[in-house]
Amino acid sequence: MKFFFIPLLLVPLNIYSQEVDASDILFLKIQELEGELASLRSELESQAYLIEKLLNEELSLEENNIPPEADIDSEESSFRFEGINDSRSIDEVYDEAIFELNEKNLQAAKQSFNYLANNFNDEEKIPLSLFWLGEISLLESNLEESEKFFQRMTADFPDHWRTPLAHKKIGDILMMSGDLGAAKIKYQFVIQAFPENVASSLALQLLENME
């Protein structure tokens, strides 16, 4: 097993990253679909709420004979302030980021995910945004930045369903950085802390290859 691991370290970072991530792709897609299905109900409800809100605002303007263009700057500012954590706003930005990610427009996706992570409060979309920021940075071979995103996610959202995989990704980064001892410790943590999670199986496979 030791002879198998030595040539593995010689593979370029970007190729190795793709190999490590290959076993996760199906798992990521399934979990992403589960998360999206879970948010459909709230998205439909938020759409109805937003439409009703806009209609009520328009009716209020008409009843008070206030032209729509009057004080439009203050109205827009007020709407943005009040709606900063509106679920519809969050969903729109997240969906746009996922679209750009699927289109392989990594910089646009990164910008949207960053905007979400730094301007919204949401127990589902924010940790997912941090996770994808870590993934994008990993694809860019920016290991230090990638680790920061994954560390932030695991620290701020320890109970999120994708946190076990984020811990495993940190182990991958440590291995790619050549810190094999720390990588082993992280993989062992994943196995012990999340024994029923798929991330544990992935960590176990990598740990066995290191023996």
Q: What is the pTM of this model?
A: 0.62
Q: Where are the beta strands (DSSP E) in the chain?
A: none
Residue 66's pLDDT is what?
A: 44
Residue 84's pLDDT is what?
A: 57
Residue 144's pLDDT is what?
A: 97
Residue 210's pLDDT is what?
A: 84
Token pair 């994943």 is found at: 190
Residue 201's pLDDT is what?
A: 94
Residue 139's pLDDT is what?
A: 94
**Alpha carbon distance 79, 95 (integer Å):** 21
**Alpha carbon distance 32, 24 (integer Å):** 12
> Cα Rg for the chain, rounded, in angstroms?
22
Give the Cβ contact number of residue 62 at 10 Å. 11
- Tens of each residue's pLDDT in the chain, 211 residues: 444 444 444 444 454 445 545 555 555 655 565 555 555 544 545 455 555 555 555 555 445 554 444 343 433 333 333 345 666 789 999 999 999 999 999 999 999 999 999 999 999 999 999 999 999 999 999 999 999 999 999 999 999 999 999 999 999 999 999 999 999 999 999 999 999 999 999 999 999 988 7
Structural class in CATH, domain 2-210: mainly alpha
Residue 26's pLDDT is what?
A: 55
**Alpha carbon distance 187, 70 (integer Å):** 60
**Alpha carbon distance 194, 200 (integer Å):** 6
Rounded to the nearest 10 degrees, how much is the dihedral formed by the CA atoms of 97, 102, 104, 109? 10
DSSP 11: S
Contact 161, 149 (CB under 8 A): no
